[in-house]
Amino acid sequence: MNFRYNLLTNNIFRRLGMPSPPPIPVLGELYNAMKIGMYANDLDLVGKYGKIIGVYEGNAPVILLSDPDLLRKVLIKDSYTFMNRRPFDGAAGILEHSLIALKDEHWKSVRSIISPAFSTAKLKSMFGLMNDVSEIYKKRLLEYADKQETFDIKQLNGEFTLDNITTCLFGVETNSLGNENVVLIKYLKKFFAFSLANLFLIVLFISPRLAKFLGEKGFSILPRDSVEYTTNILNQILDRRRQRVERRNDFIQMMIDHEENVKNETEDHHEEEHQWKTTKKTLNDKEILGQTFAFLFAGYETTSVLMSFFFYVMATQPQIQEKVYDEIQQVIGNNEVTYEKLSELHYLDMVISETLRMYPPIFRFERVASTDYQLADYRIPKGIVISVPVYPIHHDPQVWPEPEKFIPERFSAEEKGKRDPMSYLPFGDGPRNCLGMRFALLEVKLGIVKALRAVQIQQCEKTEVLLYPDPIESIIDPIKYYFLKNNASRRFGIPGPTPIPFFGELFHIIFKGLYQHDMDLVRKYGKLVGIYEGPKYTILLSDPELLRKVLIKDSHVFMNRRSVEGVLGPFDHGLTQLKDEHWKNARAIVSPTFSSAKLKAMYGLMSEVSDMYNTRLLELADKQEMFNIKELSQEFTLDSIGSCLFGVEINSLQNENGVLVKHLKQIFGLSLANFMVIIFLISPRFARYLGSKGYSILPNNTVDYLTRLLNQILDRRRQHVERRNDFIQIMVDHEEEMEHNEQQAGTSTKTLNDKEILGQALIFLLAGYETTSILMSFFFYVMATESEVQERVYKEIQQEIGDNEITYEKLNELHYLDMAISETLRMYPPVIRFDRVAGTNYKLGDYQVLKDTLINIPVYAIHHDPTVYPDPEKFIPERFSVNERSKRDPLTYLPFGDGPRNCIGMRFALLEAKLAIAKALRVIEIQRCEKTQIPLKLNKLKTLAPKEGIWLCVTRRSR
């Protein structure tokens, strides 16, 4: 967990001495926000750590600030130091030209140009247009009243605010209240629907550099098709206004008028004697479009949320609704609702303010420090984000007694005078507060007054009495809703945990480890569990009868494995990735490599490598050194595979710092490639896109090196420069044989192309290098910690072979060694899981499984099932005696998988492991040392390997 270590050692808040929760790898506090909601997590943080807290959002340090005095400094007194918001460089698309993202003087200039659009005079000029929209809104409510229908007020309010924004600010008659299905409405609503754009926000938090790169490639927070469609419409409006085809009192017109005024002023100045130029700024088209998108993006959702919660309160607190109605009747009656009369509805103002306090649409806003700054007792660095948690501020019981009670009188003039203004921040504060605040409140008040004069809001059977807000700005709950609504386990009745948005079970895996989490899931939910890995639905299957169907009886339905297309380079052509007939053909060609005859032919090469392994062990015995058996076993397996399968004398046992060894260790080391794995699990489509741009799960330099090496070997074999009994030679011989047959008989038979040969070669190299060395390492660990087992293995070797040559046939007679290796594979299976994919819809037990569902087989959990293996944490080789094995279902032991798609290199791996073990134990005794871990700490995210190696020592056996 290098990421976690990096956060702990470089934790800025620890250095500052600022209260802070332990940082969570990759997501930071986003994980908890996803789990319980941003508003609830902010409440917990403030309650636990106070009013100035250091947190991580992704890998970015953020200060959560809710102290009124400090907020006054940040937002007002020293606002010049905190002028900007969090940057979205390269990732916000058209919004980068808006007030949301602009910085410093650029922001100040644009804000000064736009501000007059929301002056009292401009709002009054728009009032008629708002009034027209409010009339349509009222009619829709009356239709529902006449039909006595229940309805979602949030959806209706979204249509109302959308119509107001588009007609008053852009001069577009969307009429979504009258026709919900017009093309423009569909595109606009996509801005706020759950989509892959939200994943882009997660990428932005986790890796701003990657987000910037993707932004340069056309990715954005906003849906591309919606942006393009809306941009085209707004460009048409701009053209018509500039050509004076139409004119309206809206934002677009104000920008055009400003543009023309500046142009006229410039021309006037040129005619004067000194010919000096004006420096007055206008907005370019991108900036105008950026502001329109910002108004649309911010106003549509937040205003409709405010109105929705207001009407919810009216329905659940009828006495307040009656007071609001009485005030409206007293001040306005049945007369026309004017701008001035709305200003006289003071109780309505209080109710709206209390709604905004209790249900603030924006949970947080933020500022960025432009220089180092002394914030109370802490010297905070330039660039750090200050995030203001509005929800906890609005629910602070010291400021708002009984904060969960709705009490409009909190906002009487007298009560407001008693409070610090910084304790109420629904629109932010200071120079960078919400520019559209007055517009939003005006449209809300007008819509409410028109509605409450005509209808009474009531509860219905679908009304939630205890309503909690969705974290609108945080994008979390819409995603959570998507997962819950589309939860396959829920639809099909399959037991399983509630999915965490985006990540599913990945975060539990990161913290507990894959092997432990699988154990917990199986214990809690049974032997058929439905889970999410990212957005991908997966079934965790450990029931032997059902496994027999999936792996053997109906293996034709479950022929393929999880696809990782586009992100593995040459590995895309390996057996682990090939599908259907392509896989069957390649497997048939490759399988003879591991026949008994071929293994016997390779035996001499294996024996030579085993002798070098012995030599190294004896050297360590003579030096009485402690050593990591995992590293030594990796060198052995690498030399065996290189020599026996590819004819390469790697000789890593004598030169552990060789170039090839270094490259292979890169693949199994923790690196940024692991981030690509996370991206793949969250969004395979996105990962494939990154793969097409050169990103890979595997280090590119290592893949390039291995590809060049294997191409050189292929060339030498085809040119008959050399010949060996190995995998490469079998492929070349098959190629030549098929070519000869084709010439003789005119038939065409499939061979592997170079990419496929390279793919298989790399798979054998990498899979064998790691898994076989893990098996050997754990075996020797057991020998050191279970000395009586080691003694029995040694005695069997002496009894069956003595000091004679260890032959292929003699190895097969070491039955107790077989049992000890099998028990090692049971207790420490190198591959924690393997998978299959359903090729069609399938009836699995009592449940319907859809096509393309991933079936994951949790090997570790199966091997540690106490109902099958009593005392599963005890090492008992006798479990694998012929008698004991016959009592168990074969599907309860799966270290190499099962069925047609089991591990093709199983026999090779077991042969090299047995040979090395037998040669080693004849000459040395394995012992513990002070660095030997008991129990072992295991890796959490990769294969089941020791986290910190396995440290042992050895002594020579006396003859």
Mean predicted confidence (pLDDT) in 172-181: 68
Write out pLDDT tens, residues 586-608: 898 888 888 899 899 889 989 99
Starting at the edge strand found earlier in the chain, the sheet holding 528-533 runs 528-533, 536-541, 854-858, 833-837
**CA-CA distances (angstroms) from residue 81 to 368, 371, 643?**
8, 7, 65
Q: Give the model's confidence band at 484: pLDDT under 50 very low, under 70 low, under 90 confident, else very high.
A: very low
| Residue 367 backbone phi and psi in degrees, to 5 | -135, 160
3-state DSSP assignment of residue 260? helix
Q: Report which DSSP code applies to 574.
A: S
| Cβ-count burial 788-809 (b if 16+ within 10 Å, e if not) | ebbebbbebbeebbeeeebebe
Q: Is the pLDDT of residue 430 over 60?
A: yes
Mean predicted confidence (pLDDT) in 902-907: 92
- DSSP for 477-522 reads HHHHHHHHHT-HHHHHT---PPPPTTTBTHHHHHHH-HHHHHHHHH
**CA-CA distances (angstroms) from residue 532 to 250, 521, 676?**
48, 12, 18
What was the pLDDT predicted at 748?
57
What was the pLDDT predicted at 772?
93
Q: Is the pLDDT of residue 878 over 60?
A: yes
Contacts for 480-485 with beta carbons within 8 Å, 24 or more apart? Answer: 480/34, 481/194, 482/194, 483/532, 483/535
Q: Report which DSSP code applies to 469.
A: -
Looking at per-residue pLDDT, the higher value among 296 and 180 belongs to 296
Instruction: Provide the β-strand partners of residue 774.
Output: none
Computed on alpha carbons and rounded to an integer, the radius of gyration of the chain in Å comes to 35
* Cβ pair 496, 525 in contact under 8 A: yes
Mean pLDDT of the chain: 85
434 labelled ligand-binding: yes
| Residue 203 backbone phi and psi in degrees, to 5 | -60, -40
What was the pLDDT predicted at 472?
34
Write out pLDDT tens, residues 342-364: 999 999 999 999 999 999 998 89
Rounded distance between C-alpha atoms, residue 340 and residue 333, angstroms: 14
* Cβ pair 70, 81 in contact under 8 A: no
Residue type, 424: Y
Query: Which of 307-321, 723-737, 773-787 is predicted least confidently?
Result: 723-737
Rounded distance between C-alpha atoms, residue 9 and residue 17, angstroms: 14
Rounded distance between C-alpha atoms, residue 605 and residue 621, angstroms: 25
**CA-CA distances (angstroms) from residue 178 to 69, 133, 137, 174?**
48, 10, 9, 9
Looking at per-residue pLDDT, the higher value among 59 and 440 belongs to 440
Query: Which of 75-89, 280-294, 682-696 is predicted least confidently?
Result: 682-696
Q: Is the pLDDT of residue 482 over 50?
A: no
3-state DSSP assignment of residue 228? helix
Rounded distance between C-alpha atoms, residue 373 and residue 375, angstroms: 6
Residue type, 479: I
Mean predicted confidence (pLDDT) in 548-576: 84
Rounded distance between C-alpha atoms, residue 333 and residue 136, angstroms: 20
Query: Which tokens sit at 507?
Result: 């975060």
Rounded distance between C-alpha atoms, residue 889 and residue 75, angstroms: 68
Percent of the chain at pLDDT > 90 equals 49
* Cβ pair 589, 734 in contact under 8 A: yes
Q: Report which DSSP code applies to 73.
A: I
Q: Give the model's confidence band at 290: pLDDT under 50 very low, under 70 low, under 90 confident, else very high.
A: confident
Instruction: Provide the β-strand partners of residue 61.
Output: 56
Rounded distance between C-alpha atoms, residue 889 and residue 691, angstroms: 42
Q: Is the pLDDT of residue 195 over 50?
A: no
* Cβ pair 913, 828 in contact under 8 A: no
Rounded distance between C-alpha atoms, residue 496 and residue 475, angstroms: 24
Query: Residue with structure tokens 């682990």?
Result: 576
Rounded distance between C-alpha atoms, residue 680 and residue 585, angstroms: 28
Q: Give the model's confidence band at 280: pLDDT under 50 very low, under 70 low, under 90 confident, else very high.
A: low
What was the pLDDT predicted at 42?
94
Q: Is the pLDDT of residue 373 over 50?
A: yes
What was the pLDDT predicted at 899?
95
Percent of the chain at pLDDT > 70 equals 84
* CA dihedral for 745, 750, 756, 760, sign (positive or negative): negative
Task: Name every residue whose Cβ is closer than 8 Å to that of residue 853 and which is 6 or more positions away in sequence.
Answer: 488, 537, 538, 539, 837, 838
| Closest residue by Cα to residue 392 from 403, 408, 402 | 403
Query: Which tokens sit at 185?
Result: 């409405």
Task: Name every residue whose Cβ is closer than 8 Å to that of residue 478 and which is 6 or more positions away in sequence.
Answer: 193, 194, 198, 470
* CA dihedral for 687, 691, 695, 697, sign (positive or negative): positive
| Residue 928 backbone phi and psi in degrees, to 5 | -75, 160
Rounded distance between C-alpha atoms, residue 544 and residue 546, angstroms: 6
3-state DSSP assignment of residue 429? coil
Residue 276, Cβ neighbours under 10 Å: how many? 9
Mean predicted confidence (pLDDT) in 438-444: 95
The C-alpha torsion from 743 through 747 and 750 to 755, rounded to 10°, is 40
Write out pLDDT tens, residues 854-869: 999 999 999 999 999 9
What was the pLDDT predicted at 341?
95
Rounded distance between C-alpha atoms, residue 462 and residue 693, angstroms: 49
What was the pLDDT predicted at 111?
92
Query: Residue with structure tokens 């390649």?
Result: 586
Q: Is the pLDDT of residue 834 over 80?
A: yes
Q: Domains in the chain, start-ordered, CATH in brackets?
A: 64-263+283-453 (1.10.630.10), 544-956 (1.10.630.10)
Q: Are strands 536-541 and 854-858 parallel, antiparallel or unpaired?
A: parallel
**Top mean-pLDDT range of 273-282, 514-523, 713-722:** 514-523
Q: Are strands 364-368 and 385-389 parallel, antiparallel or unpaired?
A: antiparallel
What was the pLDDT predicted at 53?
96
What was the pLDDT predicted at 57?
86
Q: Is the pLDDT of residue 27 over 80?
A: no
Residue type, 579: K
| Closest residue by Cα to residue 752 from 580, 563, 575, 568 | 575
Rounded distance between C-alpha atoms, residue 627 and residue 611, angstroms: 19
Rounded distance between C-alpha atoms, residue 116 and residue 124, angstroms: 12
Instruction: Provide the β-strand partners of residue 63.
Output: 54, 386
